[in-house]
Each structure stands twice: as C-alpha cells, then as structure tokens.
Structure 1
C-alpha cells in the first residue's frame, strides 16, 4: 500500500513541514511517485519514519535518529509486558501529572516510552496511562480549566504509542481500527494498535471521524480478520453502520468503548471489556 505525505503526517502525529524537512535534510522521503508525479510513501518507508518519531521522542538528536532509522529494525521479542504493582502504578501516574502540569510534553513522551519499554503497552495503558487520562479529564471538568494540560498530555502519549515498531514483512491483516463517524478521540485505538504491534499482528487504523461509507469501503478492500469501531458516547455509536459491518461473515465485528453500553447490538458483535480482552480476541482470530 502507498500513502500520501499528508496521510503519513497524520498517522505519525507530525506536521507536513516536519516531514518535508526530514526528507530534505536526512533523505527520509518517499521513493515512489504516481503516474501524475505525486509522491507516495511505501509501508516500509512509513515504518522508517515511525522509528524516527520514536527516537526523537526519546531525546535522540534528529541527525542521529535519522541514521538509526534507516538501519534495519533490530529483532526483539514481542511481549505483552509485566504487570505493575499498585504502588508503582501510583508513582508513575504522579510522574505524568507533574510533567503534564509543567506543560513538559517531551517529558510526558519519555515517561510513556520508558513505561511501555519496561512493561508493554497493555500493562502500561491499563495500570497507568488510561487512569491518568481519566483523572486528568475529571480534574479539567471539575475546575473548568486545564484543557491545555489535557491536550498536551494526550499528544505526548500519542507520540509514545506510535513509536512502537510495526511488525515487519507481510501477512494476514489482523484488524482494521476505526472511530465512529463523529468520534474524535483516538488514543484508545492507538493503544490497541501499539499492543497489536507488540504481538506481531498487522493492523490498519482509519483514525477519527470515519464516515460510514468510508468504513464499509475500507472493510471490503482490506478484508481484515477483525474490525474494531470505537465510540465513547451513545449518539456517536448510533451513527455506525453496525448491521452492514456484520454482513461480512469472514470478519469479526468489535464494538469498543463506553458509547456502546446499553445499545442493542447484533448477537455476532463482540464487546471486549478491556484492552487486554481486545488484544486477546484479535490474536485468537489470526492464530487459530
């Protein structure tokens, strides 16, 4: 598959200007072009840029990060990660609050990257990152201030999650991830994608605010083993063409997020309660 520069910038959470700069300074641009001369990135070139983003998020100088990014990705065992103790999780959350309140996004990124490296995505998300985001959102609601802190923290976590290397090579597309048509919150899907990468499962994400027709078209073209649709409110979930998605007998439909709670869903739709449940469900579908 090939990607436009704009799509790549959106996937990686960087600006198109940064993408152009990395191309001009470090040769990290696309090698392919369409018949009309438009630049297109291959999947392996996007993975190279993912490594660049991950390295710079850890504080590596851009020139050195670019040098390392073009090297073959090192072999490493995939892992779900070790659970954190309650005390360790509380201490980690305090660290995130301190960094976020100082508007220190690089620190948030480094804390998240180190946590994921030590404990894996699932344990990090369920014990630290999700509770931190929920508590931060509740604090903003109570005080009526601090939206900038919440947005900065979310951006830092997004960079760290997107820094988890995508599986090498070809294979079955395990999951297509998508938000409901007007859903703008993507972090939970980014966490799921990163956790699937740790499990060596290939996935694609359509991101936020995916029109119903676009989701159905992508499902038909990609034919994943599982399609996951995220919604955090019921009115957002209502706009998802869930019946149409269920007509594909070879794809398992997963409704993720609190927006689906209490809604009548077809019997075939799966409802994982946690990130770990969602990862296990998808892995089981492609490893039977």
Structure 2
C-alpha cells in the first residue's frame, strides 16, 4: 500500500511580540522638552482642551508622542502670532486657516520673526526666550526657578540664562530701540531669582570677597550670579552692585580688609585701569605684616593684558569660582588664605 507523500515540516515563525507603546511623559518632562512652563500646559488643557488623549484615574497626566506633537504644533503657531484659541483648534484638527500657515513651510527664524536668535541651545532657553518676548513675567519667573532648581547655579547660568541674555542683546543690537523692554524684564527677573538663593552661613572671622561694578557700569548680573554662587559655597561675600563710586569702593576695602576684590567692567569705556591699580595698592595691618587684597578683574571691558601684584583676570563664572575658592582655602598648617591669584588659571 502506497503511502501518501508527507509534507515536509514548515519552520515555525518566531512569535512577534506586540509593539511596545512609546513611553508617556509627565507634564514637567513635556514642559522642559517644549520649553514652556508646566503652568502654561495646564492652562492650555483647561482653556482649550488640548491635553492628554488618555488619562488614568488617580494618576498624574501622561503625554504620549501624539499628544506632544499637538503641543509642538500649538507652540509653533502661537510663536508665529496665531491666537492661542485658533492655534489649539488647528492642533486638534480644525482651523484650516491656521493649518495652511503651518503647511506653507517653517518660518525663516525658528519661532517666528520676533523669536530670539538662539541657535543650538537647550529647550529651556527657547521657552525662556518666548516668555520674555511676550513680556510674560510670571512664566519667566517660573522657568528661571525651574532652571535653578533642576541644575546647579553654574550650569543654569552657562546653559540657560546666559545664552538667553546674549540672544536678547543680539536682537536688540540689530533691531534699533526694539526689545529694550524685553532685556529689562528678563534682567529684572534673573536678578530677582538670584537674590532668592539663600547663602550658607559664613565661616567666623573670614575675610570677605568684595564684588562691585566700576563707576559708570550698570550691568551687574554676572557678578550677581557670582555672588549667589559664592554664597552657596559658604564663601563670605559683600556685593555692592552697579556703578559704585571710586571713593566708596576704597572705603569699603579699608573697612572690611577683604581677601579679594572683584571689579566688573562690561565695556572698554567703563573699565578703569587707574582705579584697579589704586585698589591693588591698598594695605592694612601692622607694620611689617601688611596685607593687600587680591584684585580680580572680571568682564569683557578689561581686555586680556592684566598686570600688577596680586592681580588676576577672570573669564567666566565657573573658572572665576575656582580662583576665588582657591584664594579662600587656607594653606595647609596655617589658617591663612591661599596662594597668589596668578597661580590659578581662569
């Protein structure tokens, strides 16, 4: 009896696991990614129903890639000047006029013609710049608090605050008298955020570091940031702010006997080399054991050719902190201040 031909066994196909759903993000993570504040996202959800498509009872909001894509569209439309209600309708599938504005292609400047020229920066910079251009002070304050709360002060300054400030300056320089109000609002909010940082207790009997702008210099934000960073490290500091008169600065040095004096000049027109030399020459103490402060010249106004005893040029917040902390660190086996400033590169 003939046997029926046997069909060769078919190789079994490996089971394909169902595709894993993309990770959903929290409201805070989405806000950081888009460069807006969490309050703005919650406001959009409440006013325009542009929120997560799915929500689980009793849990925080979770945004899927599709939800985030709608928010990105709304951010772009509002940056181009589309009213938020119309931008929300477009992002949710309506408002064909707004959609045509999107489909016509990206604007020449990312974020619209009024956006700041930021270049390749962290998303937080874009959110901060958008809020500043809108003169939205509450959102500016909230974004600054988030940047300072989620990063150390130096990182927040170098990667979020300073790039946004520089972009405002470039925009102002190319737009005549426009955007002055943006710079003033942003600067005020940054200063307020820095002043809210509480310093550590000062070491007892520790000579302070004095920080001041040269006479006529109104730009004090960089040394405000330096003062706040020194306070976080427990370094005794005395900040005198903008445009301190020369006589008052001399008196402050004589009265406090500081370890170092940081003198800020934003431009060549305000830098004052004779003042710097006179400060470096102030002495105090008993005859035969006289002491002088280290003079630290900060800001682009001073140039690079710095000469004089115990005089150093600072070039940035991070390196400037390293110089000052080295000066404040007692020498081994002595209780005296650290080495001459010229021994430390910045």
TM-score range, shorter chain: 0.5 to 0.7
Q: Which has the higher contact order (CA 8 A, sep 6+)?
A: 1
Deviations 1:222-244 (A, max 9, x none): 11211100001112112661111
Residue 129 (str. 1) matches residue 129 (str. 2): no
Show the counterpart of 1:201: 235
Q: Give the secondary structure class of the aligned counterpart of 1:178.
A: strand
Deviations 1:194-245 (A, max 9, x none): 1111111121111111111111110111112111000011121126611111
Which of 124, 133, 136 is the aligned partner of 1:92? 124
- The structure richer in helix per residue is 1
Residue 156 (str. 1) matches residue 189 (str. 2): yes
TM superposition score normalised by structure 2: 0.55
Equivalent pair of 1:96/1:108 in contact (CA under 8 Å): yes
Q: CA RMSD in A?
A: 2.0
Inter-partner Cα distance in structure 2 for 1:106 and 1:97: 13
Segments of 5+ residues of structure 1 without an aligned counterpart are 1-58, 60-86
Inter-partner Cα distance in structure 1 for 2:141 and 2:209: 26
Show the counterpart of 1:139: 171
Q: Tell me the CA shift for residue 263 of structure 1.
A: 5.0
Q: Tell me the CA shift for residue 173 of structure 1.
A: 3.7
Q: Give the secondary structure class of the aligned counterpart of 1:149.
A: helix
4+ residue segments displaced more than 4 Å:
none
Inter-partner Cα distance in structure 2 for 1:115 and 1:153: 14
Deviations 1:131-167 (A, max 9, x none): 1101111101111211111100111111111111022
TM superposition score normalised by structure 1: 0.66
Inter-partner Cα distance in structure 2 for 1:239 and 1:212: 12
Segments of 5+ residues of structure 2 without an aligned counterpart are 1-38, 40-118, 284-290, 331-346
Q: Give the secondary structure class of the aligned counterpart of 2:141.
A: helix
Inter-partner Cα distance in structure 2 for 1:177 and 1:170: 18
Q: Give the secondary structure class of the aligned counterpart of 2:197.
A: coil
Q: Give the secondary structure class of the aligned counterpart of 2:252.
A: helix
Inter-partner Cα distance in structure 2 for 1:257 and 1:113: 25
Q: Which moved more, 1:263-272 or 1:243-252?
A: 263-272
Inter-partner Cα distance in structure 1 for 2:294 and 2:234: 19
The structure-2 alpha-carbon separation of the partners of 1:120 and 1:142, relative to structure 1 and needing over 3 Å to count, comes to same
Aligned length: 203
Q: Give the secondary structure class of the aligned counterpart of 1:176.
A: strand
Inter-partner Cα distance in structure 2 for 1:134 and 1:220: 36
Deviations 1:230-284 (A, max 9, x none): 0011121126611111124431110000000055532531112110111111111
Residue 118 (str. 1) matches residue 150 (str. 2): yes
Residue 237 (str. 1) matches residue 293 (str. 2): no
Equivalent pair of 1:254/1:272 in contact (CA under 8 Å): yes
Deviations 1:103-157 (A, max 9, x none): 1112212211221122111111112211110111110111121111110011111
Which of 269, 282, 286 is the aligned partner of 2:311? 269
Equivalent pair of 2:132/2:186 in contact (CA under 8 Å): yes
Show the counterpart of 2:103: none
Equivalent pair of 1:174/1:283 in contact (CA under 8 Å): no
Equivalent pair of 1:212/1:240 in contact (CA under 8 Å): no
Show the counterpart of 1:28: none
Inter-partner Cα distance in structure 1 for 2:304 and 2:325: 27
